C-alpha cells in the first residue's frame, strides 16, 4: 500500500517491525515443537512464558491467568461456552448483553442457542446504569457480556461504576478488551467482577491469528479444544510459537508506548475531527460527548452514502471503514449506530477513521482535504442523480 494513508487501524494493524524481527528465528532455526524433548524445546517454552509475561503486563494480570488462542473470536466463544457449561440446566438464566457487542459475541450466542437480553445504551453508546441496576435487581441473569471499548465508536464504558454494580449483585462479567488493549492502560484484576476477557494481538501491532483469554484465578473453566494438554490443559494443540513470541513483543512495545506517547495520537484525532467539522457542512461525530479511545473517530456525513465515500477515498488512497471490518460487504447498516438511536440512513452515511502510534501529522494533514473533496464530489453527484437506484461514482478525475 505504497503512498496510501491508512486510517483504519481499528480493523487491524501492521506488524511492528521490531516484533517481526524477534519472530523470524522461530520460523527457521527455532522451529521446534515446544512439546518435544530437548534443550531447544525447553528454551522455546521459556520464550513462550516470557511472551505471556509481556502480555500480562499490558493488561495488568498474572501471567498464569492467560491462555494463548487463535484470536479474540476464539477467546469469546471459549468464554461463552465455558460459562454456559457451569450453569445448571434446570436453572439456566439468560446472558445480559449490550446491543453494541462485536458480532463474535452476538452471533455465537445465537448459534449456540444461548438466551440473552439486551441492555440499554444511551445515544452516545454508553450503558445505561439505571437500566443495568434494574435488571440486576431481578436476579434473572447468568452474567454480563460487555466489551470495554467499542470497535466502531471507540466509546469506553464506565468500568468502575459497572464493576461496583456487578459486585453488589454478585454477577460475573466477560469483557472483550480487544480494542482497548494497547490503546489505554488496563488493570483487569482491579475490576473484580471481570472473570474472563478476550485479547487480540493484531489490534496492537502484533501478528494476526493469535490472541489470548484471561480467566480470573479460581474461576471455573471448561476448555473448548481438547487434545495434548498444551497451555496447561486449557487450549490443546501445538502452540503457534512465532505468533506467540510476536504477540509478546508487540505487547511490550505497546506498554512502552502507553507510558510515554498516548496524548500524541489523541491530539491528531482531535485535529482531524475539528477540521472536518469546520470544513464540511452537515457533519457530526458519533459519540463525541462520551469518553472514547484516543485514536477513533466515527463521523456522519449527511446526504452521503458511506460505502460510496469509502470507494472515493480509496481512489484517493485513503483507507477507512464504514464500520466493523466483520460487516464489510454486507450492504446493511451496522447494528452499533442503530443501537444509539440513529436512523438507518444516518448509519449508512458514517465512516470510521482510526489512527495508530505510527500515524503521522503529515498523513492527517494530507487526509483532511481528501475527505472534504470526497464528500463534496459525492454530494454533487448525488444532487444531479435521479432517485432510481444506487449512485455510481466514477473516479477518473
**Residues identified as active-site:** 326
- Report how many helices (DSSP H) and strands (DSSP E) the chain contains, helices first: 12, 12
Instruction: Determine the Cα–Cα distance for residues 79 and 284; give it in Å rounded to an integer.
Output: 37
214: part of which helix (H) or strand (E)?
A: strand 211-215
The arrangement of strands across the sheet holding 144-145 comes to 66-69, 211-215, 194-200, 173-176, 144-145, 95-97, 116-118
Instruction: Determine the Cα–Cα distance for residues 229 and 235; give it in Å rounded to an integer.
Output: 7
The per-residue DSSP string of 135-204 comes to HHHHT--S-EE--SB-TTT-BBP-HHHHHHHHHHHT--EEEE-TTTBTTB---GGGSTTEEEEEEEGGGT
Residue of 245, 174, 170 whose CA lies nearest to 207: 245
What is the dihedral sign for C-alpha 39, 45, 50, 53?
Answer: negative
CB 225 within 8 A of CB 237: yes
What is the separation of C-alpha 296 from the centre of its chain, rounded to a whole number of angstroms?
11
Q: Which residues lie closer than 8 Å to 4 by C-beta, 6 or more apart?
A: 317, 318, 319
213: part of which helix (H) or strand (E)?
A: strand 211-215
The per-residue DSSP string of 2-62 comes to TT-EE-BTTT--PPPHHHHHHHGGGGTTT---TTS-SHHHHHHHHHHHHHHHHHHHHHT--
Amino acid at each position: 500500500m505504497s503512498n496510501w494513508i491508512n486510517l483504519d487501524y481499528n480493523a487491524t494493524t501492521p506488524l511492528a517491525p521490531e516484533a517481526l524481527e524477534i519472530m523470524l528465528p522461530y520460523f527457521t532455526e527455532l522451529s521446534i515443537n515446544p512439546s518435544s524433548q530437548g534443550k531447544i524445546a525447553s528454551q522455546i517454552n521459556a520464550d513462550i512464558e516470557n511472551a505471556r509475561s509481556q502480555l500480562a503486563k499490558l493488561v495488568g494480570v498474572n501471567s498464569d491467568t492467560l491462555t494463548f488462542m487463535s484470536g479474540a473470536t476464539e477467546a469469546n466463544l471459549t468464554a461463552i461456552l465455558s460459562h454456559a457449561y457451569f450453569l445448571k440446566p434446570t436453572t439456566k438464566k439468560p446472558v445480559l448483553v449490550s446491543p453494541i457487542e462485536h458480532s463474535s459475541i452476538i452471533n455465537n450466542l445465537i448459534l449456540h442457542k444461548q438466551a440473552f437480553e439486551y441492555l440499554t445504551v444511551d445515544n452516545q453508546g454508553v450503558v445505561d446504569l439505571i437500566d443495568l441496576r434494574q435488571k440486576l435487581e431481578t436476579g434473572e441473569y447468568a452474567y454480563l457480556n460487555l466489551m470495554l471499548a467499542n470497535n466502531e465508536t471507540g466509546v469506553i464504558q464506565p468500568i468502575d461504576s459497572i464493576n461496583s454494580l456487578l459486585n453488589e449483585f454478585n454477577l460475573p462479567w466477560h469483557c472483550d478488551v480487544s480494542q482497548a488493549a494497547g490503546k489505554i492502560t488496563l488493570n483487569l484484576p482491579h475490576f473484580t467482577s471481570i472473570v474472563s476477557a478476550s485479547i487480540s494481538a493484531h489490534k496492537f501491532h502484533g501478528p494476526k491469528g493469535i490472541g489470548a483469554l484471561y480467566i480470573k484465578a479460581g474461576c471455573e473453566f471448561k476448555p473448548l479444544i481438547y487434545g495434548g494438554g498444551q497451555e496447561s490443559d486449557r487450549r490443546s494443540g501445538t502452540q503457534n510459537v512465532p505468533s506467540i513470541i510476536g504477540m509478546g513483543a508487540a505487547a511490550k512495545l505497546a506498554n512502552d508506548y502507553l507510558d510515554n506517547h498516548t496524548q500524541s495520537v489523541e491530539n491528531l484525532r482531535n485535529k482531524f475531527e475539528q477540521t472536518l467539522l469546520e470544513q464540511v457542512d452537515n457533519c457530526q461525530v458519533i459519540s463525541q460527548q462520551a469518553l472514547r479511545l484516543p485514536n477513533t473517530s466515527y463521523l456522519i456525513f449527511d446526504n452521503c452514502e458511506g460505502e460510496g465515500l469509502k470507494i472515493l477515498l480509496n481512489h484517493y488512497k485513503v483507507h477507512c471503514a464504514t464500520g466493523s471490518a466483520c460487516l464489510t460487504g454486507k450492504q446493511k447498516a451496522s447494528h452499533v449506530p442503530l443501537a444509539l438511536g440513529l436512523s438507518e440512513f444516518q448509519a449508512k452515511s458514517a465512516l470510521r477513521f482510526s489512527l495508530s502510534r505510527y500515524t503521522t501529522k503529515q498523513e492527517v494533514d494530507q487526509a483532511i482535504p481528501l475527505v472534504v473533496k470526497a464528500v463534496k464530489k459525492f454530494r454533487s453527484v448525488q444532487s444531479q442523480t435521479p432517485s432510481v437506484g444506487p449512485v455510481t461514482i466514477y473516479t477518473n478525475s
